Amino acid sequence: DGGITQSPKYLFRKEGQNVTLSCEQNLNHDAMYWYRQDPGQGLRLIYYSQIVNDFQKGDIAEGYSVSREKKESFPLTVTSAQKNPTAFYLCASRPRGQSSTDTQYFGPGTRLTVL
């Protein structure tokens, strides 16, 4: 998990509220990613960003938004439009400009529970 921090580790919100999950990395990586993990479904890609001020939708972007104003930060907002937001959220980063086969580095995750 080294080099990527996610906060908080556990987050509780009431239904209908927007919530922002933090992801910060000090690895000087260009690319950053957000995944959602549900039991038995593996990791599903929400958004990714290859460079600052640019990001693309992943497979399940509906109900989520992101920003990439700084290289080291890639916050994820879970909006009230997300139908089933309770899940474990993982942030990852990868160096760009090296081999595209380079591996991803993951943060420790945030478990979001919507009551």
Partner 1 sequence: AQSVAQPEDQVNVAEGNPLTVKCTYSVSGNPYLFWYVQYPNRGLQFLLKYITGDNLVKGSYGFEAEFNKSQTSFHLKKPSALVSDSALYFCAVRDERGGSYIPTFGRGTSLIVHP
Binding site for partner 1 (CB under 8 A): 1, 4, 6, 9, 31, 33, 35, 40-43, 45, 48, 50, 56, 58, 88, 90, 92, 100-101, 103-109, 111
HEC profile of 51-91: ECCEEEECCCCCCEEECCCECCECCEEECCCCCCCCEEEEE
Amino acid at residue number 108 = P
Cβ of residue 67: shortest distance to partner 1, in angstroms? 18
Cβ(27)–Cβ(78) under 8 Å? no
CB nearer to partner 1: pick between 79 and 95 = 95
Comparison of 8 and 17: residue with beta carbon closer to partner 1 = 8
Contact 85, 39 (CB under 8 A): no
Q: CB-wise, 62 or 108, nearer to partner 1?
A: 108
CB of 21 vs partner 1, minimal distance in Å: 13
